Structure 1
Amino acid sequence: MPRSSHKYTAVDRDDQELSNEGNITANSPEEDLELPTNPPEYDNDRAAEFERSMEHFEIIDPFLAENSVESSKVERLKLKFQRYIVVPVRERITDPLAVVMAIISRKFDYYLSKLGNPLILRRFVYVLFVSCFIYYITSSGLLPNGTATGSRGMFSDHQQLMTYAKRALDMSKMENDLEFISSMSHMAGTKGDMAIAQYIEEAFNNNGLRIVGDAAFDTYLNYPGNATINVQSSSGKVLELNLTGQNFNPLSVEGEALNAKLAYAHLGTQQDFDLLNQNGFAGENTVLLMRYDLYPGEQVKRAQDRGYKGVIFVSDGYGEEQIDSVQQASVQNFRTSMGDPLSPGWSSASNRRLPLADSSIVPKIPTIPISRRQGEDLQKLLAESQGLQFDDGWYSGAADGVTVNFMLKPIERQEHTSWSIIGKVEGREQDDKAIILSAARDSACTGCTYPNYGTATLLSLVQLFQQAKYKFGWKPLRNIYFISFDGSEYGHAGATEFLESDASKIGEEVYAVIDISQLGIDPSGPKLDIQTHPLLFEFFNGDNSMMEFEKNVRQVQQYGDWSAYSTNGIPVAILSAPHILERKYPIYTCDDTFELFSKKMDSESWERSSDLTLYVLQTCLKLIDSPMIPFDVEKYATSLIALLDDLKEKSGEMGLSFRYLAAELGAWKRIGERVNSWVRTWENMVLIENEGLEPSLLSVSRWAFNRRLTSIEKYHCAAQGLPNRSFYKNVLFGPTAKYQDSPGSWSFPGIRDAIVDGDKPRAQNQIIIAANLLQQSSALFLDNSQEV
């Protein structure tokens, strides 16, 4: 085929236009075709013209424009991260792991198919796994909610709670509470009492406490009425005392003594009365002038037993500012019973009411308190005839030295309402068990030092408990009742009636009572007197709190709102400042005001007050929120063995047999050793090795163990009570019928009463009763305890 003679030339614009118009000349097939040796060349001028003919658009990225250098660095970093981390992790870990998971999933489905539908079973296993994971996160305190849980494992972290409480405690609020409560007189059942009761109830409500039931009780109450004291000496001097409404002892009865002899009897002890008898002062038609002792009711009881017609109490007061103050102490007597004077031993809600003359709580002779100045005026008349001189330098007076006309007519209310305020914090675990934190409220006058300081502390503790609840979502393991008791100066009616209103439920639920009525800042330093049950001796002695107090821990030897609970087998603890325990001035006087209290309080005193409040908080936390209720059975048995030795010594030559009783106490000591061993094992297993996580079966065993611990003292109560004193049921701990001041006098009361009376058969019978109850309780404890 002939080749064309034309060479291949570049296509110019005109050629292109001609081509577009269809005027294209085809090469002859005969012509030879040759490929160009180089790519076609374009005319530069025309290329530039073409480029100028194009419209260019610029897209401007402000960020890249301003950060071009940084952008390039970021891009290089992303590429490196992708190349050296993402790709290798995907190739070496993620993809192989996905393959392994796929293999495991197929195997898992294969085995599940042998049990049932794999889809349903897979969902069930997934839900179970998620539930276990959530439970672990929640119980271990790892939940990432931004707030500390205040817990360690399944239990509270008390150190963390106390650290928060120390920061949150508001002493200015406590000061304001104390100022308001002390702003008015509030004898039980009065308008002032109602106003303060409403204030406390409002405080409970504002802090989220659940108010429990109706704690208003109708009991016997009396109030100041008419009183006169006129005296005349043998020399013809006449003295008429100016008496007011402050010259009144709560529960003193109506009575008079005309032309009676007047004698000074110091403290009215047995020795004092023996000395008076030796100097011609028998009880016939004689009125006694006495100083207050710790138990005025006991003083009056001894006087009336000896036939005296009345008692005039001289108030404390050693300076000119105090010399006209009158102490209005109650003269209630608790040898045989307590509570409402007209329904002692049973609820006042029943129709059974005693005549006032038959009440053992109310004295049978009238009493009137006077000031120190008035007492000194009477002593001047007695000193004229001198008579017997006592250790304090005062004279009894001669038998025919001074005569007195003495009359008292109080205002009486056979059934009058008083109000105890009861709030409750629910437990999260054993809500069938609880403790009571209580403070008395009523006072003959303003009562700032006692009992209002304890009440203000109670309100501060309520606030701290609720702040911990809101801060950490915290709840104690067991319940706690916060109670402001009314009627404490009238037979401790409020506390006793609360128990008697539902004795079976309260007796079963409550396992400890902590009373803080006698709290205060002792002038001599950070001292704290703790009267408690032997089951709690080690708890208070071994306390390693953040607050340093000089503590005196001893057995309960005082009547109070707690007595009804103690006699029904509920361990109690009374936290007191020594000077309040001794009822030092200005207690019981109208001088006990917030203004006087504030003068004695400096910054150091308020700091100690803060420590005291935190100490009570820590005590309550350990009692209601420790997994194991901190009762020391071994120490309990050891204390009883020591008290038995004292009892043997007091029995003298009566020839009583204590062998059976000693054997049962020895058995309880061995039980205590095993109990402590079990507790140590549990603590090591759960708190140390497992960091607070407790297996469910072990939890059930611990709950049952706690129930047995709280029943120990209840086993030692006789249903029929002590001989001639059915109100007192506890055969191991409680007051004796006769006044005794030995350290062990509040133990084995039935046996000690019989020894004092010289009644050997009754004493031996009481020994047998106590031994039998100890034997039965040990058998019940062990029969229900496979762990111990």
Structure 2
Amino acid sequence: MTPDNSQENRPMLGHDLPIPTYEEATSSRAASDFGAENEALLEQHGASSSASASRRRGDGYMPPTVESVRSSMESSFLEEFASPRSSAESLRREMVQMEIMEAGVEERRSSKWRLSFSKRIHSISSSLSAISLPTVSWRNPFRNIHFSFRMPNIPSVPCCANIDQSAMIPIYRLLAILAALIVVYIILATDALGIPGAMDSAYMGPFDADSVRAFASREIDKGKLRHWLEYISSFDHMAGTEGDYVLAKYVQGQYSSFGLKSERMQYDVYLNYPKEGGRRVWMDEPKWEAALEEPVADKKHPNTMVFHGHSRSGSAQGPVIYANYGSRDDFKVLEMQGVSVKGAIVLMREGGSQKDRGLKILAAQERGAVGALLFTDPKTEGWNWPETAVQRGDVALSSWIVGDVLTPGYPAIPDAHQMSKQNNKGLVNIPSLPLSFKDARPLLLSLKGKGSRVREDWTSGVPMVDEYWTGSLTSSPTVHLQNDQVERDRQAIWNVLAEVQGVDKLDEKIIIGSSRDAWCFGTSDPNSGTAISLEIARVIGRMMEFGWRPRRTIMFASWDAVKFNSIGPAEFIEEATAPAAASSILAYINLDAAITGDKFSASGSASFQSMMSTVLSRVKDPASHQPLNSTWNKNMPGPLPSGAGAPFQFHAGISSIDLSFTGKGHPYHSCSDNYAFMKDILDPTFAYHETLTKIAIFLLLELADTEIITLSMADYSAALETYITDLDGFVKDATNADPGKRGLNMDPLHKALEIAKGHMRKFFERKEAWMEIGKDGQYVQMDEWAVANRRSRGLRMGNFDKHLCDMAPKGGLPGREWFRHLIYSPQKWKENPSGYFPSIRDAIEDGDWALAQREVQKIATIIERASRKLLDESTPS
């Protein structure tokens, strides 16, 4: 008999409680309105909602009024990172603030079982009136296990034989209740029966993998996905603001309600915010001023102001010059036409041949521009982009530094040394602002007949602009740009983490993460990923109730400030790698802009290819109803996109993959990306949310609940061969374009590839007794030596990407040492996003062939060494 999944028969969990609005959550009356659980979750001390809204909008965006620190009811599972911020004092302070403890009462940490037991006794005592000597029955949904027993009848008492038995009934009932309590106490205290709910649902595995997947699949609830997405999208939550803090506490509360151990990690980082009245773009002749702000669609939910994250504060003026997508090639075209941008305000389109907006501005800055304006082109977007929508975004130089630009390479913890913002490798030095294409139209029209007429591929899709011209320094109208903003060098942000301890106590971890902060409401990006992550955590919690546990520890992460140069995950990784704790993280799954279309996409390490094909064979496409592996592009996953996964793959060498459904146009980084757009256009039935939840859970189980982690070295071997062949073509083209150069000797890389292929083939084909599987699907040998061998094999595959990193002191990519992965890191200018071996390509593009040759030798050595470690950690075979 399978469990009933109907809403009426499900127990009430934390997320089923009434959810406060944003104003209620940030007001002082939130707790009394929504009960004790939400009091601990959402109470904010301070002003009323109206005052809070005023304070929040006064000079742009204000941080929350409640001090935030890491918190946990029990010992921190992040102690391995040796953070100075996990302290009893900080915990006591926050518990007082959240009214979990009374001020002045010393904290007392009870043991885990005592805390759990006291909660359960309270639950039992509240329902004693329903006890009528029942038959106790329970069925495990993962296996065909069922047991029952009946409470015994109360015997007669000989010495009281002459007493009216009806008068003894209350006494009998009291004795029965006391006996039942004693039995329940013994069961709970000893986990004798492993009944769900007893002692945190003691592990009752191993479980049949097919049954576990079937249960997980049945448990996914589209209604809850819809519910979470609607709430999370109901107020803005830019990094470091009140809305962000409220949502951090909410997500943490949800994790706890699912039975997961959770806590918050705070970092103090550099963030900037727009200032009311501080941003303007205008011309005096012809007379014109940009609207800048987007129209408010819902007065209950005000828009965030339009700006660029990490932009330079200040003002500039100069003639406007149109530079297409702002790539280096585009600026070369202008130079060939005799058009200079020195002292100009440069107008550029978003996307195209240079997708990184920070690098657009840097390219203009290097050629002497004093300011930059970026607009979203409906022709580039490929759909009817709203004319008043504005694409916000970060302009930090994320191909140079990822994370907090003032603390590169080390975590932004209290008292961390901060670099200067001046001449910072991660920041541009000229002011910029984003525009709607409606605002861009007058600027494009003002250039007609000035400078050079552009070629066809420079024309945009802005309506009512019939001719496109570059403009010139002498004839273009003067544009004024003002970008006065609020800058906070140590603004608090909050990662929220939750953990499911694996039955293997050796601290191997699989992390599944999603970004939480948004430029506005962020329904598709990133809230669709957050909603899916919450549903996965809820399903995992349900499985735990029946005694299931993963073999490896699963960590859920809700990252903050991802929109600001992936700060949240980068600071976590920088802190985690400081004491080499990242060696225990075997893989990372990322869910950011999870649902923006109907085409499945998987990007990341090639080691996931076979695993993804297996997972997708078990999931059907919502449109075709065919297994997704029949419609998915079966080539290797593409390069990992910038975002929350970047620090894991590029800095720490943790095998990572990003999952999403893409393909439809959506108002990216605009306030038009709201819940209405999702339910009316992107995913009305939430079928794609449900499908991606299923894919992510199945992938998580493959990584966390198999005897040997199922990353594929055979796929990685084939990928390396493809990457090197592609690099050969790149080198040949560069040599032909500059025949005076001596070229590049690629022999070391080819020799290393052949050696690596041999090692990886030997590793893949290895057959030993401890690998033998019986007819029941279980390993035959279960002694400690066999288990250790299987664990070692999994660890070596999980560490393969780490071994492709240059972890030497001052190692990494030349001039961009934050990036350590020598194959998968992005190029310096990222104009070729599919380019692997970035240091070799960068050196060739810079004309430094000697450096390119040194990088060929270094990478060849690392590839050979990494493959050798698959067979033996120290000696070559």
Q: The TM-score by the shorter chain falls in which range?
A: 0.7 to 0.9
- The answer (yes or no) to whether the contact 1:155–1:627 under 8 Å persists in 2 is no
Contact 2:406/2:420, CA 8 A, preserved across alignment: yes
The match for 1:256 is 315
Q: Is the 8 A contact 2:608 2:712 kept in 1?
A: yes
Contact 1:254 1:366 in 2 (8 A): yes
Q: 1:114-143 CA distances to partner (integer Å, 9 max, x unpaired)? A: xxxxxxxxxxxxxxxxxxxxxxxx9x9676
Partner of 1:367: 432
1:375-524 equivalence runs, <5 A: 375-383=440-448, 385=450, 387-390=452-455, 391=457, 392=459, 395-399=468-472, 400-429=475-504, 431-471=506-546, 473-503=547-577, 504-520=579-595, 522=597
Query: Structure 1 CA distance, aligned partners of 2:453 and 2:767?
Result: 61
- Counterparts of 1:561-600 in structure 2, within 5 Å, are 561-567=644-650, 568-579=652-663, 584-600=665-681
CA distance in structure 1 between the partners assigned to 2:529 and 2:712 by the alignment: 28
1:520–1:576 contact (8 Å) kept in structure 2: yes
Change in CA separation of 1:462 and 1:413 when aligned onto 2, cut-off 3 Å: same
Correspondence for 1:727:
818
1:347-379 per-position Cα deviation (integer Å, ceiling 9, x unaligned) = 222532111123222221111111221111222
Where does the alignment leave 5 or more consecutive residues of structure 2 unmatched?
1-139, 149-193, 294-303, 461-466, 621-626, 736-741
Distance 1:281 1:607 in 2: 51
Does 2:421 correspond to 1:322? no
Residue 254 of structure 1: CA displacement? Answer: 0.9
* 2:298 equivalent to 1:209: no
Q: Percent identity?
A: 24
Name the CA distance, whole Å, in 2 between partners of 1:661 and 1:402: 54
TM-score by length of 2: 0.68
Q: Cα deviations across residues 453-497 of structure 1 (Å, max 9, x unaligned)?
A: 1100000000011111113x1101101111010011212111010
2:245 paired with 1:164: no
Give the match's secondary structure for 1:186. coil
Distance 1:469 1:679 in 2: 34
SS of 1:554's partner is: coil
Q: Is 1:609 paired with 2:684?
A: no
Match of 1:650, as an amino acid? F
Asked if 1:231 corresponds to 2:290, the answer is no
Residue 648 of structure 1 aligns to a residue whose secondary structure is helix
| Gap change, CA 1:279 and 1:530, over 3 Å in 2 | same
Q: Assess if the C-alpha contact under 8 Å between 1:253 and 1:367 holds in 2.
A: yes
Which region of structure 1 is more displaced relative to structure 2, 437-446 or 398-407?
A: 398-407
Q: How does 1:143-292 map to 2 (within 5 A)?
A: 144-145=146-147, 155-212=206-263, 214-225=264-275, 226-232=278-284, 236-244=285-293, 246-258=305-317, 260-292=318-350
> Compared with structure 1, are the counterparts of its residues 681 and 395 closer, same or farther at alpha carbon in structure 2 (3 Å cutoff)?
farther
Using a 3 Å threshold, how does the CA distance of structure 1 residues 716 and 208 change in structure 2: closer, same or farther? same
User: In structure 1, which of residues 683, 686, 693 is the aligned counterpart of residue 773 of structure 2?
Assistant: 686
Which of 333, 348, 360 is the matching residue for 1:299?
Answer: 360
* From 609, 613, 631, the counterpart of 1:541: 613
Aligned to 2:804: 716
The separation in 2 between residues aligned to 1:320 and 1:541, in whole angstroms, is 34
- Per-residue deviation, 1:687: 4.9
The answer to whether the 8 Å contact 1:171/1:606 transfers is yes
Size of the alignment, in residue pairs?
633
In the alignment, does 2:788 pair up with 1:695? no
* Larger mean Cα displacement after TM superposition, 696-705 or 652-661: 652-661
Please name the residue that 1:754 is paired with. Answer: 843
**Structure 1 segment 747-786 matched on structure 2, within 5 A:** 747-784=836-873
Residue number among 626, 638, 656 corresponding to 2:744 in the alignment = 656
Matches within 5 A, 1:104-143: none
Q: Which amino acid aligns with 2:523?
A: C
Structure 1: gaps (5+ residues): 1-137
Q: Note the 1:5-84 alignment, pairs <5 A.
A: none
How far apart, in 2, do the equivalents of 1:628 and 1:320 lie?
Answer: 48
Which has the higher mean CA deviation after the structures are superposed, 395-404 or 185-194?
395-404
Report the CA distance between 1:702 and its aligned residue.
0.5
Which residue identity is paired with 2:659? L
The AA in structure 2 aligned to 1:619 is L
CA distance in 2, matches of 1:298, 1:558: 16
The alpha-carbon deviation at position 187 of structure 1 amounts to 0.7
Q: Give 1:774 shift.
A: 2.7
Write the letter of the residue equivalent to 1:238: K
SS of corresponding position for 2:446: helix
Task: Give how far 1:785 is off.
Answer: 9.8
CA contact (8 A) 1:499 1:506 kept: no
Q: Deviations over 1:536-594 (max 9, x none)?
A: 222223442233333345232522121111122111101122247xxx43221111111
Q: Distance in 2 between matches of 1:712 and 1:513?
A: 14
- 8 Å contact 1:208–1:466 — kept in the other structure? yes
Q: Distance in 1 between matches of 2:658 and 2:768?
A: 28
Match for 1:309: what amino acid? V
C-alpha spacing 1:374/1:778, structure 2 compared with 1 (3 Å): closer
Shift of 1:410: 1.1
Change in Cα spacing, 1:646 to 1:467, as seen in structure 2 (3 Å) is same
Q: Distance in 2 between matches of 1:480 and 1:252?
A: 37
The residue type equivalent to 2:265 in the other structure is A
The 3 A distance-change label for structure 1 pair 265 and 162 is same
Residues 365 and 429 in structure 2, CA contact (< 8 A), matched pair in contact too: yes
Distance in 2 between the 1:742 and 1:370 partners?
25
- 1:339: Cα distance to partner? 0.7
| Contact 2:240–2:491, Cα closer than 8 Å, also in 1 | yes
Aligned partners of 1:175 and 1:555: how far apart in 2? 30
The whole-number CA distance in structure 1 between the counterparts of 2:330 and 2:743 is 32
Contact kept, 8 Å, 1:462 with 1:482, in 2: the verdict is: yes
1:315 to 1:760, Cα distance in 2 relative to 1, 3 A: closer
User: Structure 1 pair 596/426, CA: closer, same or farther in 2 (3 Å)?
Assistant: same
Alpha carbon RMSD of aligned pairs, Å? Answer: 2.9
CA distance in 1 between partners of 2:756 and 2:207 (Å): 32
Cα displacement (A) at 1:219: 0.1
Counterpart among 312, 329, 337 of residue 373 in structure 2: 312
Partner of 1:19: none
Match of 2:418 in 1: 353
How far residue 398 of structure 1 moved from its aligned partner, in angstroms, is 2.9
Q: Which has the higher helix share?
A: 1
Please give the alpha-carbon distance, in whole angstroms, between the structure 2 residues aligned to 1:157 and 1:360.
52
Give the SS at the match of 2:256: helix
Shift of 1:505: 4.3
How far residue 693 of structure 1 moved from its aligned partner, in angstroms, is 5.0
Q: Which amino acid aligns with 2:400?
A: T
**Counterpart residue type for residue 565 of structure 1:** F
- Give the residue type in structure 2 aligned to 1:673: R
**Alpha-carbon shift at residue 343 of structure 1 (Å):** 0.9
Tell me the SS of whatever aligns to 2:513: strand
